[in-house]
Amino acid sequence: MNKILIALVLIFGFSGNAYSVMIDVRTDEEWNAGHIEGAIHIPLSEIKTDIENYEISKDEEILLYCRSGNRSGRAKVILDELGYTNATNIGGIASVSEQYNLKIKAETYPEIWELLGESKDGVKVYIDLNSYARHNNIRYIITMHDTSTQEKDFKSVKFLNQIDCNKFRMRSVRIFGYSGLMGDGEEIELTEKSDNIWMYRIEDSPNATIIDAICMVDKEVRDLNKILKP
């Protein structure tokens, strides 16, 4: 499972549960084999640098678990040092599942790609309809850019985007480049190469195409409204 897809679990984990945020700090392999339904995945090795990408307030309740409670205890220390005031180590995955009456499930994620349009410089922009989600006033969507006409190192690039419709701006918190089209071929994570800064809507650019599509959802302007989750 790609980390960009795993990151989406964050969005759906905020609602419908008795807690605010539950974080699994185990490895990718452990997560894919089975995790608490509704949890988000930030490995212990990445939590110090990645936690700020997820729009979690410093006083929000955060429940941490791992296999036995050891790594989640270390994760709590890290979050405490970062200023998070309500983080709790709740132990190992088996006991958490029993204590909170939550299912353990393996990760599956079907992608539904829709062509949004093409920018003036020839970049085709696709959107994963199955990835749209919202938390507070921020919207999240996975997009894929076909850059095969741009003589770039990668033929396609996948983004996990945060979009602020109040200010018509967006930023990408996860980026992956592929040697083939639409995620096929060799994958290389490019997240660290990005400045991860907000970029305001630029006319006739891929970001304008994406922002227009996502921020018009509530206005029922596009046919995408029939598919995107409100």
Write out the catalytic residue numbers: 66
Per DSSP, 29 falls in state H
Q: 76 pairs with which residues across the strands?
A: none
Instruction: Give the separation between CA 99 and CA 163, rounded to whole angstroms.
Output: 36
Q: Which helix (H) or strand (E) holds 106?
A: none
How far apart (Å, rounded) are the C-alpha atoms in residues 2 and 188? 11
Residues 6 or more apart whose CB falls under 8 angstroms from that of 44 comprise 25, 26, 66, 71, 72, 74, 75
- Exposure pattern of 104-121 as b/e (b: 16+ CB <10 Å)? eeeeeeeeeeeebeebee
C-beta of residue 169 within 8 angstroms of C-beta of residue 198 = yes
* Secondary structure of residue 157 in the 3-state scheme: strand
What type of residue is 29? E
Q: Render 50-97 in DSSP notation, one character per residue.
A: HGGGG---TTS-EEEEESSSHHHHHHHHHHHHHT-SSEEEEEEHHHHH
Q: Among 58, 183, 45, which residue's Cα sits nearest to residue 109?
A: 183
